[in-house]
Amino acid sequence: MIANLTVGERQAALILLGIGGLVGLLMAATGADEAFASHGVIVLLFCAALFVLVLQHLDDPQPSPDAHRSYYDDPIKVGIILAMVWAIIGMFFGLWVAYLLAWPDLTFDAPWASFGRLRPAHTTGVIFGFGGTALIATSFHVMQRTSRARLAGQFSPWFVLFGYQLFVILAVSGYLMGINQSKEYAEAEWYADLWLVVVWITYFVLYMRTLARRNEPHIYVANWYYMAFILIVAILHIFNNVALPVSWTGSRSYIVWSGVQDAMMQWWYGHNAVAFFLTAGFLGMLYYYLPKRAERPIYSYRLSILSFWGIVFFYVWAGSHHLHYTALPHWVQTLGMTFSVMLLVPSWATAANALLTLNGAWHKVRDDATLRFMMVAAIFYGLTTFEGSFLAIRGVNALSHYTDWTVAHVHAGALGWNAILIFGVVYAAVPVIWRVERMWSNRLIEWHFWLAVLGTVVYVLAMWNSGILQGLMWRTYTDAGTLQYPFITTVLAMNPYYVARAVGGTMFFVGTALGCYNLWMTIRQAPGTTMVQDHPVSADGAAGDAAVPGE
C-alpha cells in the first residue's frame, strides 16, 4: 500500500497527519463538553495510527517508474475491505435495534444503547459506512477501467478514502454519546460536516481530473451516474447542514433554517440522498458490473442516457412528498407528488435496461450466484421505485406515512437493491483486483445469496403487514367518533411482526458474515505476483479489449 507512494507523497502524508493529530489534541484539550473532547481524542488516535504506519515505511524503496503505467488499485482494495467491515458494524446495530423493538429490555439500562442512539448509528453505519465506502471504492475501479486512465494522483485517493472513514467514525461515535442534530440521514454535528465538505470536494476534483486525462473518447454511462452522485450530494450536504455552533469548542449547533423551511430543506436533502447516494451512485455500479459479469453489452446505451437525465431532473423535485398534510404549502406537496409519480418512467426504463441486458445470458444467471445478486438487485430496484411512486400519492400516504410500511419500503431498497448489489459487485471485483481466478468458495456465495434474498423477503413482508395494520388501526373510529384502539394496543399488535423482522435481519446478517469470511479467505490465497488482464467495458457498453492506460 505505502510502497507504491513516492517518498514525497509519504512525507506529505506525514505532514498532513501531523496537522490532523495536533487538531485532535487541541480539540481534546479545549473541548467545552465531554463529547467534543472525546472526538478530539478519536481524531488524535486516528491520525497517530496512520502516522506510525507511514513512518514505518518511509525509507522503503521508491516504486518503479513502470508502476505509473498500470491501474492504481491499492485504494480500491482497502476500500472494499473497509466497506465490508462497516457492513458488519452497521448491520449489527440494525439487528440490535430490531431485537430491541421486540424485546425492549435489551438496552440493559445503558443510555448509549437506547433506540434513539442505536438507530442513527445503524443508518449511518450502513448507508454511509458500508454504502458510501463501497461507492468510493467502486468509483475508483470503474473510473479507471472505462476511461483507460490511471487515477489522477496517488495521495488524493487515500485522503478521500481515509478522510471519509474519519467522518463516519466521528458520526457513529457521536450518536452513541448523544451528539445528534436530529436531521434524518444528516445527524452528524457541525465539525464532522465541515470535514466531510473538505473530503468530498477533494473527491470531486480527483474524479474530474481522472476523467479529463482519459484515453477513451466517450464517457461511459456509469461515470455519468457517479458524477451526479458526487456533485449533487455535495450540494445537498452543504445546504442542509448550514449551522451555527454554540461554541467553536463545543459539539452543539443550531441549523440556520427554521420551521417549515427547515422541514422542506431536510426532505429536499433526505429524499435526494436516497436519489443520488443510494440510487445514482449504485446505478453507476450496475451499469458497469452487470454487463461485465454477463459478458453482454448494455441492451440500449441510448436508453441509459435518457434514463439518466430523467432521473436527475425528476428526483430533485420529489422531496416534498414526505411532508403531505403538514404546514408546507399544498402546491409544493402536489409538486413533489407529481414528480414522484413521473419518476416511475426513467426508473423502470433503467430496471428494464438492466434486465434486458441479460438476454442471451440467462444460463449464466442460473449458474453464477454473483450475477444472480445483480439480477435480483435490479428487480428490487424496479419494485421499490414503483412502490416509492405509489407511496407518494397523497391518499396512499395518508395510510402509509409514519407506519412500518415506510420501514418496509426503505429496507426493500437498502437490503434488496443497495446491499445485494454491493455483494454482487464485491464478488465480481475482488478476483480482478486481487488477481485471483475466483472467490475462495462458490458454495459460500450461494449460501450468502439465499440468506440475503430470504432475509430481505421475510423482513419486508413482516413490515408491510405491520405497517398496513398500523395504519388501519390508527384510523379506525367508533360510532361515537373516537379512536377505537388505544395507541398501546397498536404497539402490542406489532410484536409478532417485529419478531419476524428480527428473524429476517438475522438471516441477512449471517449471510453478510459469510461474505466477509469468503472475502478474507480469498485475500489470504491471493498471490503477490500473479497478473490477470482486466478487460474494461468500452464506451458503447460492450466488453472491450484489454488496455494498459497511458499517462
How far lies 33's CA from each of 36, 114, 169, 248, 396, in Å? Answer: 6, 21, 19, 11, 45
The label of the residue with cell 459478458 reads 295
Q: 54: left (phi > 0), else alpha (psi -120 to 50), else beta?
A: alpha
Q: Alpha helices, DSSP H only, in 295-416? A: 301-315, 330-342, 344-357, 362-367, 369-391, 394-400, 404-411
What distance in Å separates the CA atoms of residue 453 and residue 428, rounded to the nearest whole number? Answer: 18
How far lies 549's CA from each of 284, 285, 531, 534, in Å? Answer: 21, 21, 16, 11
Q: Could you tell me if 527 and 436 are in contact, meaning their C-beta atoms sit under 8 angstroms apart?
A: yes
Q: Could you tell me if 362 and 325 are in contact, meaning their C-beta atoms sit under 8 angstroms apart?
A: no
Give the list of residues 6+ apart from residue 370 with CB closer than 8 angstroms, or none.
293, 424, 427, 428, 439, 445
Is 324 known as a binding-site position?
no
Is 57 known as a binding-site position?
no
Q: Could you tell me if 222 and 291 are in contact, meaning their C-beta atoms sit under 8 angstroms apart?
A: no
Is 271 known as a binding-site position?
yes
Q: How many CB atoms lie within 10 A of CB 361?
A: 18
What distance in Å separates the CA atoms of residue 202 and residue 403, rounded to the nearest whole number? Answer: 39
Q: Could you tell me if 21 and 48 are in contact, meaning their C-beta atoms sit under 8 angstroms apart?
A: yes
Is 122 known as a binding-site position?
yes
Is 39 known as a binding-site position?
no
C-alpha cell at 244: 451555527
Is 330 known as a binding-site position?
no
The label of the residue with cell 498500470 reads 70
Q: How many CB atoms lie within 10 A of CB 527?
A: 9
**Burial degree of 395 (CB within 10 A; 0-12, 13-18, 19+):** exposed
* Interior/surface letters 108-131, b for 16+ CB within 10 angstroms, e for the rest: eeeeeeeeebbbbbbbbbbbbbbb
Q: Could you tell me if 151 and 157 are in contact, meaning their C-beta atoms sit under 8 angstroms apart?
A: yes
Task: Report how far Cα 384 is from the mean position of its chain's Cα atoms.
Answer: 16
Length of the chain (residues): 551
- Binding positions for heme b are 122, 409, 411
- Binding positions are 122, 271, 321-322, 409, 411
- Binding positions for Cu cation are 271, 321-322
